[in-house]
Amino acid sequence: MSNFYVTTPIYYVNDLPHVGHIYSTVVCDTMARFHRFRGDDVYFLTGTDEHGQKIQRAAAQQGVTPIQLADRVVERYVELWDQLGMTHDDLIRTSQERHHRAVQEMVRRIDAKGDFYVARHEGWYCSGCEAFYTDKELTEEKHCPVHERPAEWEAEENVFFRLSKYQEALLAWYDQDPSPVQPRSRRNEVRAFVEGGLRDLSVSRTKVDWGVSFPGHEGHTVYVWLDALTNYISALGFGSDDTSLFEKFWRSEEPDDQRIHLIGKDILRFHAVYWPAFLLSAGLPLPTSVVAHGWWLVDEKKMSKSVGNVARPDHLVEEFGADALRLFLLRDMVFGQDASFSDEAFVDRFNSDLANGLGNTLSRLVTLSRRAFDGQTPPVGTEWDGALRQFAEQCAGDYLSAMEESAFHRALEALWRLLGETNQFLVRNEPWKKLKNVEERDQVACVLASGLEAVRIVASALLPVMPSTAPKVLEGLGAPTVGNESSLAWGGLPLGAELPESPSLFPRIDKKKYFAAAEKQAEASSAPPPARKSDPDATRAEDSPQIDISQFAEVDLRVADVKAAECVPKSKKLLRLTLDLDGVERTVVAGIQQQYAPEDLVGGQVVIVANLKPAKLMGIESQGMVLAASVDGAAVALRPEKRVPSGTRVR
Ligand code: MSP
């Protein structure tokens, strides 16, 4: 049994929770439940980030004190986590006394190491990020690259942390095998940033008094990120009289013990650069992993209050339950990449995976078994089907390894593959045609028992993801809920057991009716209408500004032969294509790697914008652009219906 410590980011209290915050917490809760399922000793922490300029300003705008604002928002978080079935062991608030003590202890340790100095500091600050930016990092209009709002020029005398001193140690940390920063693309990103040179970091503020006071520097508060990051150990008792949790979950040196910070990609630098550097300076162990996920996008943009595209899926939870939302979030986002959130995608997933996939398979099997065996599962002594067993064992193995790698979408895919195969197995064996035939009774028993067993394994594996519905599925199969890994082994279905009438757990959502009702309700309450799947490229053609034919004629579209194609190193999206255009070779970089393997393209043709000014993409000069239709953000390349001479114009 190993110790497994998992943390969510602590959430700012200037705004109510939305689907992005829910996602991070659902992922951690699923990891926590999965590790308990595997028999690990788990500690799961979440919390709220309550200090700093951003909160101070939000409170002032609302005419309340920062702590009043925090109390109000924390209440909402507590309710929400309860409603969504989160099993965190603690919820830390940075305004708590225990946290203040830990931050001050951290500051004292770093100070004792000689890693602070005082200097005058000037720079561009974004209070949304609570971070300074260099001129180069800001947009041309001096806007923050994340919040797209003006950064503010700040000048004050600050305490600085010698971050630059830790450059080599950090690089060595990233280079461990496996790297503690996951997925690999994020490790590469952060490594390149650190390799580019680290500047010392300002870690105190004099203009913000809502924070932890900086020991030894009157009038200074601790920079909000040094404060916030320390939550991961203050919640374990660091700096207090009782450090038993800290010793067990942070300081332990056992090779299998894990300390994982799950974060969104927006806060990678803070967790993979600043935090390990602070810990190194304080002489404390580093996390074993920092795992970053992508963003839920609405209308192809990260959700944000200022953009006005924040999705709060309360209505989905109310109507379809927390488990359906949990499944949707884990299944629809390829872990690590961005995904689009919409009610429509949710409804589609519900209908395909729950109503059809799981629900129908379950009720089909239960109904058949009840008919054939007098309201019971097949009788004791029934043989299992070897082929389905083998398939199920393969899927259970794939599920386990994907869960270990935080590839939740793949883990769930493996389970639905098993459901798909179970249905095929039924179609192949047609037990419904043999129910009355005494001679085929053994065969019917084998088919139904094996089918029910496959669904039992799926339901058992779903316990960490759908903690309140999976036990209902098991109950529907006449099987007990065994909350550990042994339940994934083939053969756990009780034979000759009472089988209750098939429960209707996931009634199909009538999409048309759902959207008609939701839109009506939105109209009546003047709330925003429910989100349909969206794609900015798929806006209505009649909304596009018109151009005249001469403007169009300026664009030189040509057909080109694809001579060679390869993935651009370190990029998940880009392919480098070598094209022939009427005897002249060109290199074009195209963002279509997710949809096309190089071998799908070589020997074929594509359409390109041939007179586009060359641009560098990942260091490669691209001489043109491949045309593709954008379907929900996925590229479908345009190719001539039949082969035409390379260089042919497209009009
Ligand atoms: N308070 C800091 C974190 C401090 S951790 C020591 C913070 N808070 S936040 O309220 O802005 O929430 C950040 C986290 O919420 C992100 O890192 C991510 O985990 C999650 N999400 C917020 N918006 C998101 C999306 N649109 N999509 C997915 N998750 C995102 O930053």
CA distance 456 to 434: 23
Residue 281: count other Cβ atoms within 10 Å of its Cβ. 23
Structure pTM? 0.81
178-185's contacts with Cβ under 8 Å and 24+ in sequence apart are 180/286, 180/287, 180/288, 180/289, 180/290, 181/268, 181/272, 181/289, 181/290, 181/292, 182/289, 182/290, 182/291, 182/292, 182/406, 183/291, 183/292, 183/335, 183/336, 185/336, 185/570, 185/572
Residue 324 pLDDT > 80, yes or no? Answer: yes
- Yes or no: say if 79 and 322 are a contact pair by the CB < 8 Å rule: no
Higher pLDDT, 301 or 361: 361
CA of 310 to the centre of ligand 1 (A): 13
Is pLDDT of 456 > 70?
yes
* Under 8 Å between Cβ of 332 and 480: no
Structural tokens at position 402? 């994907």
pLDDT reported for residue 550: 67
Quick: pLDDT tens for 107-119: 999 999 999 999 9
φ and ψ of 641, to 5 deg: -65, -35
* Distance between CA atoms of residues 428 and 24, nearest Å: 41
- pLDDT of 633 over the 80 cut: no
Nearest one of 598, 628, 594, 46 to 334, comparing CA atoms: 594
Pocket test for ligand 1, best of 49, 130, 260 (most atoms within 8 A of CB): 49
DSSP state of 375: S
Q: At 367, is the pLDDT very low, low, confident or very high (cuts 50, 70, 90)?
A: very high
Least confident of 68-77, 126-135, 238-247, 282-291: 126-135
Q: What is the pLDDT of residue 525?
A: 61
Q: What is the pLDDT of residues 597-623, one digit of tens each?
A: 888 888 889 999 999 888 888 888 889
DSSP three-state, residue 632: coil
Res 536: pLDDT: 45
Strand 90-93 relative to strand 41-49, pairing? parallel
To 10 degrees, what angle do helices 408-429 and 386-404 make? 170
Three-state secondary structure call for residue 354:
helix
Above 70 in pLDDT, residue 385?
A: yes
Distance (Å, whole) CA 212 – CA 15: 21
How far is it, in rounded angstroms, from Cα 99 to Cα 525?
Answer: 42
Q: What is the pLDDT of residues 389-407, one digit of tens each?
A: 999 999 999 999 999 999 9
Burial code (b: 16+ CB inside 10 Å, e: under 16) for 536-562 equals eeeeeeeeeeeeeeeeeeeeebbbbbb
- Our measurement of the distance from residue 227's CA atom to the centroid of its chain's CA atoms, rounded to an integer in Å, reads 25
Averaged pLDDT, 354-358:
96
pLDDT digits (tens, 9 = 90+) for 498-525: 999 988 899 999 999 988 887 777 676 6
Sign of the C-alpha dihedral computed for residues 519, 520, 521 and 523 taken in this order: positive
Per-residue confidence band for 215, with pLDDT thresholds at 50, 70 and 90: very high
Give the residue-averaged pLDDT of 136-150: 88
Nearest to 625 by CA among 568, 565, 558: 558
Residue of minimum CA distance from atom 9 in ligand 1 = 11
* Residue-wise pLDDT tens digits, 148-189: 889 999 888 999 999 999 999 999 999 999 999 999 999 999
| The length of the chain, given as a count of residues | 651
CB 493 within 8 A of CB 453: yes
The residue annotated as part of the active site, out of 113, 143, 305, 434, is 305
535: pLDDT strictly greater than 50: no
**Can you tell me the distance from the alpha carbon of 629 to that of 606, in angstroms, rounded to the nearest whole number?**
12
Distance CA 142, CA 581 (A): 41
Distance from C-alpha of 386 to C-alpha of 103, rounded to nearest angstrom? 59
Backbone φ and ψ for 635, nearest 5 degrees, come out as -85, 135
Give the closest residue (by CA) to ligand 1 atom 6: 229
Write the DSSP string, 538-574: GS-GGGSPP--HHHHHTS-EEEEEEEEEEEPTT-SS-
Tokens read off for 514: 């759902």
Our measurement of the distance from residue 69's CA atom to the centroid of its chain's CA atoms, rounded to an integer in Å, reads: 28
Is 144 part of the annotated catalytic residue set? Answer: yes
What is the average per-residue pLDDT within 65-79? 96
Q: In whole angstroms, what is the distance from residue 463 CA to residue 467 CA?
A: 5
123 has a pLDDT exceeding 70: yes
pLDDT at 602: 85
Q: What local confidence, expressed as pLDDT, does residue 542 receive?
A: 55
CB of 396 within 8 A of CB of 457?
Answer: yes
Residue nearest to atom 24 of ligand 1 (CA): 20
Q: Using CA atoms, how far apart are residues 23 and 293, in angstroms rounded to an integer?
A: 9
Given this model, what pLDDT does residue 582 score?
86
Structure tokens at 596: 């096309």
Question: 129 an active-site residue?
Answer: yes
Ligand 1 atom at minimum distance from 229 CA: 6
Q: Specify whether the CB–CB gap between 6 and 45 falls below 8 A.
A: yes
Q: Which of 135-144, 299-308, 631-640 has the lowest mean pLDDT?
A: 299-308
pLDDT (average), residues 86-112 = 98
Residue 583 has pLDDT above 80, yes or no: yes
395 among known catalytic residues: no
What is the Cα–Cα distance from 465 to 403, expressed in whole angstroms? 11
Q: What is the pLDDT of residues 32-50, one digit of tens each?
A: 999 999 999 999 999 999 9
- Rounded to the nearest angstrom, the distance between the alpha carbon of 315 and the centre of ligand 1 is 22
Looking at residue 539, its pLDDT comes to 45
56, two tokens: 């101070």
Name all residues whose Cβ lies below 6 A of ligand 1.
Answer: 9-12, 20-21, 23-24, 49, 228-229, 231, 263-264, 266-267, 295-296, 302-303
Which of 290, 303, 297, 291 minimizes the C-alpha distance to 338?
297
Atom 18 in ligand 1: residue holding the nearest Cα: 264
Please give the angle made by the CA atoms of 585, 587 and 591, to the nearest 5 degrees.
145
* pLDDT at residue 310, as a whole number: 79
Mode of pairing for the β-strands spanning 649-650 and 625-626:
unpaired
**Would you state the pLDDT for residue 502?**
83
Q: What is the mean pLDDT of the chain?
A: 92
Counting residues of the chain whose pLDDT is more than 90, the rounded percentage is: 73
Higher local confidence (pLDDT), 415 or 526: 415
From the CA of 462, how far away is ligand 1's center (Å)?
Answer: 26
